[in-house]
Structure 1
Amino acid sequence: MKKQKNTIHRKRNKSLGIVELIAIALGGMIGGGIFTVLGISISIIGVFTPLAFLIGGVLASLAGYSYVKLAIYYKDEGATYSFFKKTFPNSPFAASLIGWWVSFGYISTLALYAYTFASYALSVFEFADNNIMRKLTAVAIILVFTLVNIWSVKGMGKIEDIMVYTKLLILCIISFVLINNSNTTLPILLENNDDFNILSILIVASLTFVAFEGFQLVIHAMNEMSEPVIKIPKAIYSAIIITSLIYFIIALGAILAIPFKNIILHQEYALASGASDILGHWGSDLVIIGALLATSSAISGTLFGASRLISVIAKDGYFPSYLSKKRNEIPVYSIITMSILAFCLILIGDLKVILEFGSVTFLLVSILMAYSNFKIYKQTNSSLAIIIISIIFLSVATILILYYQAITQVEQVYFIAGLYIFLTILAWLFSKFK
């Protein structure tokens, strides 16, 4: 009887296959990113926006390399936090710090996805620009997926499959329709926008890095998959490639079919507004459905992966101990706490600040992961050249975001710096008194 129970337990814990794992990664990546940053990107670099997304994909691939190598070596669902802690076992403050930073990075993206969901969900109503209604709707959708993730792992995985692969189909249709209804050509756009500025393109690629984060959520499902050595690289690299191609095609279709001024004017729901102008009501509805599915799956995937990370950190004493408790292998209290903190960010935060904080956070964390891999590259069987290139490129991207903030809205630099200081103090206190 005991042997039979153990068998059932193993099957329950290994319920996620490669299809579900890719869906979790895509759910975390293709969320609010493309729908939120498209207008910002075009307002800065115009016709070169698709190129910036491809560069962003390269940055994500460089960041993903060390994540994959460390995941295969350590086989720990704690991912970012656990990798850093195990690589530097004699530095509890370092482990606590990266745990606090990356957890709040996930919380900020959760808020971003929910706000973008609300923007598109309300775009068909007269009160579409009502900020209070947007925030209330954002809070409501997080609550829905909080309950879904508390329900069951298998249930979440199947719902994630449906949302992710349906939204991919819709996004492909949107891209085809936009390109097929283009009112200009790429050579004409390039001729009218000959102010090629490589620095601006790199800045936009850096700003959009948050639109690519999410691939590491796969690692947090380590205990819910079989053969992680095979499935983790396949899921992460497949998700990055798929995401990069979709972002490029959507951005290309948008600049060919929608006037730049319309995209910039309606930044928070630019694709819906543009599709409505070109294709009428049904085009706008199609984009809205795609946006709602994209942001919904991103919310669900982020809650799923990040809650397990927070549970691991709490178990080690760097977060309040109640966050480590699980019910039926589900970190219920971590999920609820993430949702509450995301509520707070939505209610008091500014969308652009949340976006930039998320990009900076995941760039910094990716640099630390590359550095961890550098320290043990022989054990992880990694390429030293790729690791060094990753560190250089990711560091430059971080500097470019801070530079852009300093020359545009320096108060955002102060806000983000203050938030980092606050998180650092909390990390130090928990590392000292855990």
Structure 2
Amino acid sequence: MATLHLTPVQLVAHEEVALAEAVSHIPVLGAAGFVLVILSAMKSTSSGINATLFGTARLVHKIATEGALPRLFSFRNREGIPVYSLLVMGGLTAAFAALGTLKQITEFGSVAFLVSFAVTNYTNLRLADETGSNRIVPALGLLGTTAAIPIVLYHLYRTDIQILFWTIGIFILVFLFEFLYLERSPFEPGVEGET
């Protein structure tokens, strides 16, 4: 509702802080409303970042413990926190935030999300006999995500080729890192709970 206080031109001009700008036009709130919305956004964002960093660091730790990532990432401190995983994930996040715009980060995140869910659905399809899962759901998920990836890339090609190049460049760097630097030991994914 607050954004109704702005014209479309104003929304575009303040796209990064449109809600805060809109609230600042409400006479009762004014500049205080702008500050409150910014503080609320920062609190919400920091909470989300914190949860994502710790969740991802724990996942990286688990993958390293299974031997698919360098052993360094399997270290935990006395409190059980995967310190090196957390530091690397935090550093990469800070680099993305410092070097990219919100739009670049969002578009890359969309493509990364689709790729990771395509891989997840493919893996579930491959392991369906071992996990006892229904093949229809991951097959539909794989079909949907693999259909969406080229659509998103084409959309970027038509609307913002620079972001397309950024996205492709980041994926190339990730795959080069994986190919050149990660430990080369045979890795067989197992079903959790197997003995």
Please give the residue correspondences for 1:310-329 in structure 2 after superposition, counting only pairs within 5 Å: 310-327=60-77, 328-329=79-80
Which residue of 2 is the match for residue 263 of structure 1? 11
Quick one: which amino acid aligns to residue 33 of structure 2? G
Gaps of 5+ in 2: 187-195
Which residue of 2 is the match for residue 370 of structure 1? 121
Which residue of 1 is the match for residue 42 of structure 2? 292
1:339-377 deviations in whole A, cap 9, x for unaligned? 222233333334322221111011100011111222233
* Partner secondary structure for residue 310 of structure 1: helix
Please give the residue correspondences for 1:224-373 in structure 2 after superposition, counting only pairs within 5 Å: 254=3, 256=4, 258-278=6-26, 279-327=29-77, 328-373=79-124
Q: Provide the rounded CA distance (Å) in 1 between the counterparts of 2:136 and 2:66.
A: 34
- Asked if 1 retains the 8 angstrom alpha-carbon contact of 2:68 and 2:185, the reply is no
* Partner secondary structure for residue 80 of structure 2: coil
* Partner secondary structure for residue 432 of structure 1: coil
Q: Does 1:412 align with 2:163?
A: yes
Distance 1:377 1:307, change over 3 A: same
Q: Provide the rounded CA distance (Å) in 1 between the counterparts of 2:136 and 2:130.
A: 15
Q: Provide the rounded CA distance (Å) in 1 between the counterparts of 2:185 and 2:125.
A: 30
Higher deviation after alignment, 424-433 or 368-377: 424-433
Q: Provide the rounded CA distance (Å) in 1 between the counterparts of 2:184 and 2:80.
A: 29
The CA deviation at 1:275 is 1.2
- Asked if 1 retains the 8 angstrom alpha-carbon contact of 2:65 and 2:74, the reply is yes
The CA deviation at 1:316 is 3.8
Q: Provide the rounded CA distance (Å) in 1 between the counterparts of 2:128 and 2:5.
A: 47
- Asked if 2 retains the 8 angstrom alpha-carbon contact of 1:373 and 1:387, the reply is yes
- Asked if 2 retains the 8 angstrom alpha-carbon contact of 1:275 and 1:284, the reply is yes
Identity across matched positions, percent:
32
The CA deviation at 1:282 is 4.1
Q: TM-score, normalised by structure 2?
A: 0.79
The CA deviation at 1:387 is 2.5
Quick one: which amino acid aligns to residue 264 of structure 1? V
Number of equivalences: 182
What's the C-alpha RMSD, in Å, of the aligned pairs? 2.5
1:292-339 deviations in whole A, cap 9, x for unaligned? 221010111011101111222333444332221101211112112222
The CA deviation at 1:426 is 2.0
Q: Which of 424, 427, 432 lines up with 2:178 in the alignment?
A: 427
- Asked if 1 retains the 8 angstrom alpha-carbon contact of 2:57 and 2:85, the reply is yes
The CA deviation at 1:273 is 0.5
Q: Provide the rounded CA distance (Å) in 2 between the counterparts of 1:390 and 1:317.
A: 28
Which residue of 2 is the match for residue 146 of structure 1? none
Q: Does 1:396 align with 2:147?
A: yes
- Asked if 2 retains the 8 angstrom alpha-carbon contact of 1:318 and 1:427, the reply is no
1:222-252 deviations in whole A, cap 9, x for unaligned? xxxxxxxxxxxxxxxxxxxxxxxxxxxxxxx
Which residue of 2 is the match for residue 223 of structure 1? none
Q: Provide the rounded CA distance (Å) in 2 between the counterparts of 1:341 and 1:285.
A: 28
Distance 1:393 1:295, change over 3 A: same
- Asked if 2 retains the 8 angstrom alpha-carbon contact of 1:402 and 1:413, the reply is yes
- Asked if 2 retains the 8 angstrom alpha-carbon contact of 1:323 and 1:334, the reply is yes
* Partner secondary structure for residue 128 of structure 2: coil
Please give the residue correspondences for 1:45-124 in structure 2 after superposition, counting only pairs within 5 Å: none
Higher relative contact order (CA 8 A, sep 6+): 1
Gaps of 5+ in 1: 1-177, 179-252
The CA deviation at 1:408 is 2.2
Which residue of 2 is the match for residue 13 of structure 1? none
The CA deviation at 1:422 is 2.1
